[in-house]
Every structure is written in C-alpha cells, then in structure tokens.
C-alpha cells in the first residue's frame, strides 16, 4: 500500500512502474525538509515493495522538475543545522543512486540547485526540450549540499563542473545532452511517454542483472571498493541465479525469456 503524502504524488502502473511526482507546483516543486523526508520514506517503501519494478521521478506542472531548495528554510539554518540538512539530503539521494531498481528522472522545466542534484542522483535523465539545469548556490553564498559537487563532476568532468558551479550558469537541454548531463531530449508533451517506454524496455531484462549493473557501475566511484572486483563478484553471482538459467535457455530455444529476479 502506497501512502498518501502532502508533497509527493504517487502512481503505480500495472507494469510495475512507480511514478513519483514532486507535487508543490505553487513553489515550483522546491525541496523543503518535509519533501526530502517523504521522498526518503517513499524510496524505501518502493525498494521493499515487490510490485515496484522501476521508478520515474518528475515534477508537477510544466515549468519545473524542482526549481531548487526552499530558500525560506535555508535562511533559518545555522552551521550545525545546515550540516545535518546536507547529510540527510545526501542520505536520501544516495538511496536513489544505490537503488537496485532502475530510477529515471523525467525533467520537465527547471532543475536547479537541489533539483539538479536530485536529477543527477537518478541512474540517468530524460529532459524535455524546455529543461534548464544549474547549480546556482554561489549566488546565495552557498555551495551544493546534496552531492552536487560530486555527481556533476562525475557526469561532465572536472573543468566543466567547476565552471558551472562557480559561474552559476544555467544549461539548456541541448547543451546538457552534449555535456552528458542527460541521455535524451524530447518534446515536453512526449516526456513521460518516452521515459515510460524506455523504462519498460529495461524492465524486460533480468532484474537481478540490472541491479548488479547499477551496483558495479557505482563501485567505480566508491573509493572504498574495487570496481573490477565488484564486477567479478556480480558476474559470478549471476551464474547461481534462476534468471541466468532462464536467459540462456530462452536464447538457445529462440524464445523470449521470462525473468523472475531470482
């Protein structure tokens, strides 16, 4: 059973795709502490729910995915509370990044500050042609706090990340595609249909293998893990799975595979 939430709208389709919509359109879906808590709760429920196979994150309305953090909340923080807010946001966003169920951001409009950080925490991003990305925190005397300095650097490289973080420049959808910040740009009217179709294709693959791909790629960026060893361990694990037996048998019998995730 999915909860009823104040700041998120949830829709679970019959094919197992859960669409999580940041639902504060009057605030351009700005992230406040309550929204981050609801997002963390929802992600954990989704990971534990066998009916959820994949997740789409998007924003309500056609103007913004998430236009940033709630500035009125930030203005009231001191150093200690600011650190705690950053650590909690990073914890929730890492839950998204480390999800073994695929998570795609469908970015409609502005993805600024915490919104850009949220999109980057997803496994990849599909952008509407009106999307705008940026980390404008230096305009407020701040820096990104939810992992933006780390993930932006991973996605676009050190030099370009430093430029965008220090200038606070916004990036249009076509430039985001060129930089590797997003995977696809589509007309806004087609955004959700395109993203659902893309995720549906992924969900036809072996769920265990998809989850192990995510974990192995993440291991590359984890200083405490050897990515090559993580890959070898994951590769070996596949051989003990029902999905491997089904996949190879289906290939030999020239039929579609029916995977169970085991």
Active site residues: 117, 137
Quote the tokens at residue 12.
Answer: 């679970």
DSSP state of 31: B
Assign residue 226 a region: left if phi > 0, alpha if psi is -120 to 50, beta otherwise? beta
Closest CA to 18 of 59, 67, 51: 51
DSSP state of 92: H
Residues forming beta bridges with residue 239, ordered by sequence position: none
Quote the tokens at residue 101.
Answer: 């169920």
Radius of gyration in angstroms for the set of CA atoms belonging to the chain, rounded to a whole number: 19
Residues forming beta bridges with residue 39, ordered by sequence position: none
Continuous H helices in 71-172? 71-74, 79-97, 114-121, 148-156, 158-167
């Amino acid at each position: 059973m999915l909860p009823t939430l104040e700041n998120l709208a949830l829709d679970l389709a019959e094919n197992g795709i859960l669409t999580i919509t940041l639902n504060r359109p009057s605030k351009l879906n700005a992230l406040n502490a309550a929204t981050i808590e609801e997002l963390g709760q929802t992600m954990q429920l989704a990971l534990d729910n066998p009916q959820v196979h994949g997740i789409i994150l998007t924003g309500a309305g056609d103007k913004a995915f998430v236009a940033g953090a709630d500035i009125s909340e930030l203005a009231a923080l001191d150093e200690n509370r600011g650190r705690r807010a950053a650590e909690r946001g990073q914890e929730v966003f890492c839950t998204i990044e480390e999800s073994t169920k695929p998570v795609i951001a469908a970015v409609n409009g502005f993805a600024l500050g915490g919104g850009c950080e949220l999109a980057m925490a997803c496994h990849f991003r599909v952008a509407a042609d009106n999307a705008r990305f940026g980390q404008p925190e230096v305009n407020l005397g701040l820096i990104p706090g939810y992992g933006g300095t780390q993930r932006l650097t991973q996605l676009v490289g050190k030099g370009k990340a430093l430029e965008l973080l220090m200038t606070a420049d916004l990036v249009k959808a076509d430039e985001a595609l060129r930089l590797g910040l997003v995977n696809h740009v589509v007309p806004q009217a087609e955004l959700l249909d395109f993203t659902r179709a893309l995720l549906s294709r992924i969900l036809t693959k072996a769920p265990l293998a998809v989850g192990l791909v995510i974990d192995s790629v993440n291991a590359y960026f984890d200083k405490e893990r050897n990515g090559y060893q993580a890959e070898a361990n994951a590769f070996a694990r596949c051989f003990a799975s029902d999905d491997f037996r089904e996949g190879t048998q289906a290939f030999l019998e020239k039929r579609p595979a029916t995977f169970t995730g085991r």
